[in-house]
C-alpha cells in the first residue's frame, strides 16, 4: 500500500473474522458469494474502474468476484488462489487433492476439539514448512490460533464453490497469475487448471518462494504487481482497450519488470 499510495487509491478490506469484521456464524455454511456480498459496499466505493488484487483465500474471492464485475476491472492480480473446488472436480484422487483434504480434515477436527494451538501448528507448518509454528514468537501465537476458528467456514467455501472451471474463461481482462516454485502441490495444481482457461493471463513462477511469498518476500512480489498495474493502467478508458490482448500486456509487463528487477543493487537471481 505504501508503495502504490502516491499513484493509486488503495482500499484494503477485512473479510469475515478479520480485523473488526465479525466472524461468520459457524452454524451456517459459508460460500465465496457471502464474502463477496460483504464487500459489496467496497466495490461501490471503488468507482467505475478498478484493479483487483488477491492472495490465497483472498485470491479465490477476487477470482469469483471478477466473474460479475469484469466490465469494471482494469486488471486482475492473483497469487495462488486456493480454489480447491476446481481441483476436486478435475482430479479428486490425485496426490495434490488428497494432501489438501488431509489438511482440511485435520484442522477442522482440531477446531471442533477446541485445540486451536495444534490447529495453528498444522496449518502454519503446511503452508510455511515444518517448524514454522515453533519459529513464531510465543506472544504472537495466541492471535494466530484464535484466527483458526474461521477455518471451517473458509474450507467449506473453497471446497464447495459451485462455479465450474470453464466458467472462468469469461474473465476476459488482463490477469497476472503469480505462483512460487516452492509452493505445495495443492495450490500448484489449482494454478495449472486456472491458467489454462483464463483468456488474458500472464503467468509467472517465482524461484525460491512458497505460498506465503507476499508476506515473506514482499520485496520480490510487490514490484511484479506494481509493474503489472502500470502496464494496464494506460489502457483504462481507451478505445483500444477491447482489442488489447494478453500478449501485448504481458510484453509491457515483462519489459517493465526487467527494468525494475535489474536495477542497480538488485541481482537478476532475485527477480
Q: Determine the average pLDDT of the residues in 58-86.
A: 95
More reliable by pLDDT, 86 or 267: 86
Residue 70 DSSP code: G
What is the spatial distance between Cα 195 and Cα 232, in angstroms, rounded to a whole number? 19
Residue 173 C-beta-side C-alpha neighbours within 13 Å: 28
pLDDT for 249 equals 66
pLDDT for 252 equals 67
More reliable by pLDDT, 39 or 243: 39
pLDDT in tens, 225-250: 999 998 887 655 443 444 445 566 67
Is pLDDT at 267 greater than 50 in this prediction? Answer: no
More reliable by pLDDT, 242 or 44: 44
- Going along the chain from its start, the domains and CATH numbers come out as 1-263 (3.40.50.1820)
Q: Determine the average pLDDT of the residues in 46-51.
A: 92
More reliable by pLDDT, 108 or 256: 108
pTM, whole model, 2 decimals?
A: 0.88
H helices present in the chain, as ranges: 32-38, 40-45, 57-69, 84-90, 95-112, 116-128, 132-135, 141-147, 151-159, 185-197, 213-216, 218-232, 246-261
- Yes or no: say if 123 and 145 are a contact pair by the CB < 8 Å rule: no
Amino acid at each position: 500500500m505504501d508503495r502504490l499510495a502516491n499513484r493509486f487509491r488503495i482500499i484494503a478490506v477485512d473479510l469475515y473474522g478479520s480485523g473488526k469484521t465479525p466472524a461468520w456464524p459457524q452454524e451456517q455454511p459459508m460460500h465465496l458469494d457471502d464474502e463477496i456480498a460483504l464487500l459489496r459496499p467496497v466495490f461501490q466505493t471503488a468507482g467505475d474502474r478498478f484493479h483487483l488484487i488477491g492472495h490465497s483465500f483472498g485470491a479465490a474471492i477476487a477470482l469469483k468476484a471478477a466473474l460479475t464485475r469484469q466490465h469494471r476491472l482494469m486488471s486482475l492480480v492473483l497469487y495462488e488462489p486456493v480454489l480447491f473446488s476446481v481441483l476436486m472436480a478435475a482430479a479428486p484422487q490425485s496426490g495434490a487433492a488428497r494432501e489438501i483434504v488431509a489438511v482440511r480434515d485435520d484442522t477442522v477436527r482440531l477446531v471442533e476439539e477446541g485445540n486451536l494451538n495444534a490447529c495453528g501448528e498444522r496449518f502454519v507448518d503446511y503452508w510455511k514448512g515444518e517448524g514454522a509454528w515453533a519459529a513464531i514468537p510465543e506472544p504472537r501465537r495466541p492471535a494466530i490460533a484464535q484466527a483458526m476458528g474461521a477455518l471451517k467456514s473458509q474450507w467449506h467455501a473453497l471446497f464447495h464453490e459451485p462455479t465450474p472451471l470453464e466458467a472462468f474463461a469469461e474473465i476476459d481482462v488482463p490477469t497476472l497469475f503469480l505462483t512460487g516454485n516452492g509452493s505445495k502441490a495443492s495450490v500448484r495444481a489449482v494454478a495449472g487448471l486456472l491458467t489454462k482457461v483464463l483468456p488474458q493471463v500472464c503467468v509467472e513462477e517465482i524461484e525460491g518462494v512458497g505460498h506465503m511469498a507476499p508476506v515473506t518476500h514482499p520485496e520480490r512480489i510487490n514490484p511484479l504487481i506494481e509493474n503489472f498495474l502500470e502496464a494496464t493502467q494506460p489502457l483504462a478508458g481507451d478505445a483500444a482497450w477491447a482489442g488489447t490482448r494478453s500478449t501485448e500486456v504481458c510484453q509491457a509487463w515483462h519489459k517493465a519488470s526487467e527494468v525494475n528487477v535489474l536495477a542497480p543493487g538488485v541481482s537478476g537471481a532475485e527477480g
